[in-house]
């Protein structure tokens, strides 16, 4: 029993490091960049509040579990801002290695259960994973709209680039959220003089 | 539809402020104090990993929802470190007012559902709420053991005070976790010369 608990706690202590992984998006008040732990919390709240946007085959409990776990691999692999230059194959290799090490701290049964949830999210094939991914892409533009542009300004992106890199992904699992975001992003680009 | 989404997003944007509420506990590496948003995320992970410590009447999904929501009222009412001077009646009044305002941003049905989850947590009467409260009390000592004493040093508390203020609460919903923590806290006080 104590050895099992030791492994559970070792994993939870290691997970604490996610609080130090800085993302490309700022808080709504633009006071600082957000970290991946608080982002993950925010996404679980998105799932609780926007569950009515999920299709009939989505398991919202599974979605919440995915969102709790989805960024843990960044402890080793780092965060990859969506508008940065990305080598998707290299990132996938890094993240798989990270999952091996981090979930491997857990007792066997939990390692297997939680890693399966993370892998389902990564594969983005099930309705639940698609919805979870859509929320993960929908939150940053909502923050940018509040903070005065945020990562759109940092990376000097156009409305068209947002639609291609972000919108297309939101639309897969939550089409109405993309319709909603698109109109507001368009308005923001017009009124801020960045269009 | 748009009006409903506007309210959902207004709530999610307001919730972002939880990332600025600083707690009495530091990160495991002692680099800074943690905030209530990342703490809430960490607790949802505690629930996923330590579910085997829950009694048979605990609904773990409900526990996770409680932990996502439990600190939102701190946006208005602030965090109250466990070893500080606490006026529990005044805090309860402040937090109820905060819940009214913050959950009140949501559409009626969501306000009612999410507020009921928060109230169940606060009342600490159901097995699920007791377990959620136990995890909320169990995480800070785990962090303090890693960070070199953390809030125990800041507030100059004794092992006896920890048992009275924290241990008694952990033991209600998760007795084995208190047995586990107690032994390690005792060892820490011995070896650090603070006993």
Each residue of A62-86: pLDDT tens digit? 999 999 999 999 999 998 888 888 8
Search chain B and give the residue with CA nearest A103.
Answer: B49
Query: What is residue B18's three-state secondary structure?
Result: helix
Instruction: Spell out, as residue ranges, where chain B has pLDDT lower than 50.
Output: none
Shortest Cα distance from B70 to chain A (angstroms)? 11
Pairwise CB contact (< 8 Å): B41 & A41:
yes
Nearest-Cα residue of chain B relative to residue A140: B13
CA atoms in the 13 A half-sphere facing the CB of A146: 21
Residues A49 and A71: beta-carbon distance below 8 Å: no
pLDDT in the model for residue A50: 98
Task: Say how many C-beta atoms besides its own lie within 10 A of residue B129's C-beta.
Answer: 22
The rounded Cα A165 to chain-centroid distance in angstroms is: 14
From A79, A73, A152, select the one nearest A115 (Cα to Cα): A73
- Paired residues of B35 in beta bridges: B22
Residue of A nearest to B109 (CA): A49
Q: Which residues of A touch B29 (CB under 8 A)?
A: 16-17, 20
What does the domain layout of chain A look like in residue ranges?
A: 2-192
Of the candidates B194, B158, B27, which has an alpha carbon nearest to the alpha carbon of residue A37? B27
Give the pLDDT of residue B195: 77
Interface contact flag, B28 A16, Cβ < 8 Å: yes
Q: Which residue in B41, B40, B64 sits closest to B51, CA to CA?
A: B64
Q: Do B19 and A27 touch (CB under 8 A)?
A: yes
For A103-131, give one letter per residue: b (16+ CB within 10 A) or e. Answer: bebbbeebbeebbebbebbbeeebbbbbb
Q: Is B11 left (phi over 0), alpha (psi -120 to 50) or beta?
A: alpha
What phi and psi, each to the nearest 5 degrees, are found at residue B148? 90, 30
Q: Compute CA B66 distance to the chain's CA centroid, rounded to the nearest angstrom.
A: 10
Residue of A nearest to B117 (CA): A48
Among A19, A33, A121, which would you mutate to test the B interface (most chain B Cβ atoms within 10 Å of its Cβ)?
Answer: A19
Q: Which residue, among B21, B26, B19, has the nearest Cα to B155 in the 3D structure?
A: B26
pLDDT digits (tens, 9 = 90+) for A105-128: 999 999 999 999 999 999 999 999
Confidence (pLDDT) at A85 = 83
SS3 A34: strand
Residue B5 CA, chain-centre distance (Å), reads: 29
What are the Cα distances from residue A166, in Å, to A101, A132, A171, B124?
A: 30, 14, 9, 41
Nearest to A45 among B15, B42, B49 (CB): B15
Two structure tokens written together for B97 = 């007012």
Query: Is the whole model's pTM more than 0.90, yes or no?
Result: yes
For A49-80, the DSSP string reads HSGGGS-TT--HHHHHHHHHHTTTTHHHH---
pLDDT class of A1 with cuts at 50, 70, 90: low
Instruction: Give the residue-averaged pLDDT of A88-115.
Output: 96
Q: How far is A114 from A65, CA to CA, in rounded Å?
A: 9
Is the Cβ pair B5, A180 closer than 8 Å? Answer: yes
For residue A87, the distance in angstroms to the closest alpha carbon of chain B comes to 29
Say if residues A93 and A164 touch (Cβ distance below 8 Å).
no
Cβ(A80)–Cβ(A140) below 8 Å: no
Residues of B in contact with A65 (CB under 8 A): 48
3-class DSSP assignment, residue A103:
helix
Q: Verify whether the Cβ–Cβ distance B50 to A13 is below 8 Å.
A: no
Mutate to test the interface with B, among A10, A37, A175 (most CBs of B within 10 A): A37
The whole-angstrom distance between A46's CA and the closest CA on chain B is 7
Chain mean pLDDT for chain B: 96
Considering the segment(s) A2-192 as one domain, its CATH architecture is Orthogonal Bundle (1.10)
B18 CB neighbours in chain A (<8 A) are 38, 41
Contacts of A1 (CB under 8 A, 6+ apart): B176
Contacts for A137 with CB less than 8 Å, ≥ 6 apart: A82, A166, A169, A170
| Model pLDDT, residue B33 | 97
Taking CB atoms and an 8 Å cutoff, what residues of chain A touch B34? Answer: 19
Q: What distance in Å separates the CA atoms of residue A67 and residue A56, rounded to the nearest whole number?
A: 19
- State the CB neighbour count (10 A cutoff) for residue A189: 18
Q: Evaluate if residue A40 carries a pLDDT over 70.
A: yes
**Residue contacts between A and B (CB atoms, under 8 Å):** 124
Secondary structure letter of residue A24 according to DSSP: E
Residues from chain B contacting residue A109 (CB–CB below 8 Å): none
A23-52 mean pLDDT: 97
| pLDDT, tens only, A26-37 | 999 999 999 999
Q: How far is it, in rounded angstroms, from Cα B81 to Cα A73?
A: 31
Task: Report residue B68 as tokens.
Answer: 């996502």
Residue B26 pairs with which residues in a beta bridge?
B33
A12–B41 CB contact, under 8 Å: no
A170 chain-B contacts, CB cut-off 8 A: none
A36 → chain B, closest CA residue:
B38
């Amino acid at each position: 029993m104590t050895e099992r608990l030791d492994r559970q706690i070792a994993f939870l202590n290691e997970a604490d490091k996610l609080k130090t992984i800085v993302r490309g998006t700022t808080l709504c008040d633009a006071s600082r960049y957000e970290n991946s732990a608080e982002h993950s919390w925010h996404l679980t709240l998105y799932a609780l509040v926007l569950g009515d946007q999920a299709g009939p085959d989505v398991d919202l409990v599974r979605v919440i579990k995915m969102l709790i776990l989805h960024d843990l691999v960044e402890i080793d692999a780092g965060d990859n801002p969506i508008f940065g230059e990305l080598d998707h194959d290299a990132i996938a290799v890094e993240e798989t290695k990270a999952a091996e090490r981090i979930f491997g701290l857990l007792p066997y049964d939990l390692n297997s259960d939680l890693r399966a949830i993370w892998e389902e999210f990564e594969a983005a094939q099930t309705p639940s994973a698609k919805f979870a991914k859509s929320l993960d892409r929908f939150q940053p533009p909502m923050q940018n709209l509040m903070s005065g542009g945020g990562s759109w300004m940092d990376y000097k992106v156009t409305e068209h680039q947002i639609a291609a890199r972000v919108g297309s992904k939101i639309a897969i699992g939550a089409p109405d959220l993309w319709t909603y975001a698109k109109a507001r992003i368009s308005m923001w680009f017009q009124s801020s003089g960045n269009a």
